[in-house]
Structure 1
């Protein structure tokens, strides 16, 4: 009788151990996917922006199908996609709006950095 109880305990602990190992493996994979979704941002500001706006720059470019980061192209693609999905999907429209916000944010950051660089060069300082 004691032998059967010992076998039952061993079998139960093996099942629980396998389940725990499987759950741990799934959690590690989910963590790696989350890190990848954040776009593997190189700087802290990029990570914060990705988290704040919910999209990486690459995802936003893919949603609006943009190759170059210009205000005209962003507006053109945004308006055409937003109107195309006007009657079909509010979800897609929200994704389009978020993508435009992300690209506008990036466009504003690059123009601000360019102005700072020009100011520094005109002052003669490095």
Structure 2
């Protein structure tokens, strides 16, 4: 009697799990068909260019639209506007001015994604980063010997007098 009850429970459990699995598969297939058709229409029917763009998106983990949102630009923006926005966002998020390294890295990745996109389109352009400013001789940089701090990673030795 107990063996028969356990067998019935196993059969019913298998049926429930099987039905749930099939329903999930049908839903996934419907979503793929719906989104795949939308994506193909958006990319102009696919082709080699779309495959290259998809490969770059998979490689970088960022779409062109996301990169443009991060840099706060539109598709019609010229290189000067893109460079200006990139430099501003890079400076604002610098750790030296209490910025966010994470956001600064997102800005750099967005710039790289746009450059990769332009390269796949056969128009390799580079967004110029601002060159770092050279410190003047009158104002010592913190951490430099002129500023009175040691650059060594060891603590300064104390003078022991007897």
Deviations 1:53-98 (A, max 9, x none): 3322111111111012421111111111122222342221111101
CA distance in 2, matches of 1:88, 1:75: 19
Displacement of 1:19 in angstroms is 6.1
CA distance in structure 2 between the aligned counterparts of 1:110 and 1:24, rounded to whole angstroms: 37
Higher relative contact order (CA 8 A, sep 6+): 1
Structure 1: tracts of 5 or more residues without a match? 114-126
Matched ranges for 1:41-52 at <5 A: 41=43, 42=46, 43-52=50-59
Residues 1:91 and 2:102 aligned together: yes
Q: 1:22 to 1:93 in 2, by over 3 A?
A: farther
SS of match in other structure, 1:112: coil
Which range moved further: 73-82 or 102-111?
A: 102-111
Q: Secondary structure of the residue that 2:123 maps to in structure 1?
A: helix
Give the direction of change, closer, same or farther, for the CA distance of 1:25–1:80 in structure 2 (3 Å limit).
Answer: farther
Confirm or deny: 8 A CA contact 2:53 2:120 kept in the other structure. no
Structure (1 or 2) with the greater helix fraction: 1
Aligned length: 107
Distance (Å, rounded) in 2 between the aligned partners of 1:25 and 1:91: 39
- Take 1:82 and 1:109, find their aligned partners in 2: how far apart are those partners? 25
1:62 is aligned to 69
Mark the structure with the bigger radius of gyration.
2
The SS at the match of 2:112 is: helix
> TM-score, structure 2 length as denominator?
0.49
Partner Cα separation in structure 2 for residue 60 and residue 94 of structure 1: 12
Over aligned residues, Cα RMSD in angstroms?
A: 3.4
